[in-house]
Amino acid sequence: MIEIRNLKFSYFTLKSRTEVFDSLSMMIPSGEIVGLLGRNGTGKSTLLNLMAGLLDADAGTIAVEGVDVTQRGTTLYTSLMIVPEEFSLPQLTLDRFVKVTAPFYPNYDEARFADCCSRFEVNRAVRLDRMSMGQRKKAYLAFALACNTPVLL
């Protein structure tokens, strides 16, 4: 479950302050699939980054599976996975990346990962930095799905 209470967030530049959220509250029950829709620049990615604990809110709270995202501890990061719009991956093969990263996710399922790679037509032996952006996104999504975290952003 994700619970957001009275969330406030603004961006600051040298000349101005842009308010993105003012007292946003919502609850997303476990097992729900939710889509964020809106025009460019309305805060969709910002909200996901706040929910993942990658940005700090000006005020309010966000809890994922009962854990305050500002705590940024093991419990939080084994409970959620974020597939960002833009990301960089190391100069490793997909298999090596998974071997290094999967131990951080106690519910990781190798069979599910293999199935996702097959369905997404991703070659696990190719270095991530040599894949197209579309292939990298499919590879990362396959890994994210295989981690079986309670929350996937």
SS3 sequence, 46-105?
A: HHHHHHCCCCCCCEEEEEECCEEHHHCCHHHHCCEECCCCCCCCCCCEHHHHHHHHHHHC
Q: What is the mean pLDDT of residues 79-92?
A: 86
Q: Identify whether the C-beta of residue 113 lies closer than 8 Å to the C-beta of residue 142.
A: yes
Amino acid 85: pLDDT? 82
**Residue count of the chain:** 153
Higher pLDDT, 117 or 71: 117
What are the residue ranges spanned by the domains of the chain? 2-77, 94-152
Q: What is the mean pLDDT of residues 54-65?
A: 94
pLDDT at 41 over 90: no
pLDDT at 72 over 90: no
pLDDT at 78 over 90: no
Where residue 25 falls (left for φ over 0; alpha for ψ -120 to 50; beta otherwise) is beta
Q: Rounded to an integer, what distance in angstroms lies between the CA atom of residue 118 and that of residue 2?
A: 31
| pTM attached to this predicted model | 0.86
**CATH topology assigned to domain 2-77:** Rossmann fold (3.40.50)
Amino acid 27: pLDDT? 96
